[in-house]
Amino acid sequence: MEQQHHNDDIDLLELFNNMLKSIYYFIDRWYKTMAIITLIGIIIGLGIYIKDSDIYSNKMIGKSRFIDKTLIVELINNLNSIKGNENVFSKTLNVPYKGLKNISQIQADTIENIQNLISIKLMYTDTIDANVFLNGLVNYINNN
């Protein structure tokens, strides 16, 4: 009996050629489906981008040994009601209104589990200098 030798080697050019043909046939067969899925993805992405509002938020934690936390929460929440009046808001915090105009909400609440801690949430529509706001807030609390 004769032994037959099988040559299992494959030429690299033939391998790459077969791969490219497979990719071409796949794209040729499914290009409409891929185009529709891509278009749907672009439409959904644009819809989310347009609908999504640019509101940023900072969460701060404050503590005072001398002032009752409920008083501080009340003072900070009162700021939210006057933020629409530029002059009063600016004078109350003793900060130029330019640094405060993008603030959309100021909210404070007590942290129940830990004594004398206050959670302060600041929401704004564009960049603000948080340090300027924080210094104005500390001065406002100290003066009231």
Whether residues 94 and 139 share a domain: the answer is yes
Whether residues 43 and 78 share a domain: the answer is no
Q: Residue 4: inside a domain, yes or no?
A: no
Q: Residue 3: inside a domain, yes or no?
A: no
Report the chain's terminal Cα–Cα distance, integer Å.
108
DSSP, residue by residue, 54-102: --EEEEEEEE-SSS-HHHHHHHHHHHHHHTTSHHHHHHHHTS-GGGTTT
Whether residues 75 and 47 share a domain: the answer is no
Whether residues 40 and 77 share a domain: the answer is no
Whether residues 87 and 33 share a domain: the answer is no
Question: Tokens in use for 105?
Answer: 């909400």
Per-residue pLDDT of the chain (144 residues; tens, 9 = 90+): 566 666 667 788 888 999 999 999 999 999 999 999 999 999 999 999 888 777 888 888 888 788 888 888 888 888 888 887 888 888 888 888 777 778 888 888 887 776 778 888 888 877 777 778 888 888 888 887
- DSSP, res 113: S
Instruction: Quote the domain boundaries for residue 127.
Output: 56-143
Whether residues 36 and 80 share a domain: the answer is no
Number of domains in the chain: 2
Q: Residue 139: inside a domain, yes or no?
A: yes
- CATH number, position 130: 3.30.70
Sheet holding 103-110, edge to edge: 56-63, 117-124, 103-110
Alpha carbons 108 and 67: distance in angstroms, whole number: 15
User: For 94, left (φ over 0), alpha (ψ -120 to 50), or beta?
Assistant: left
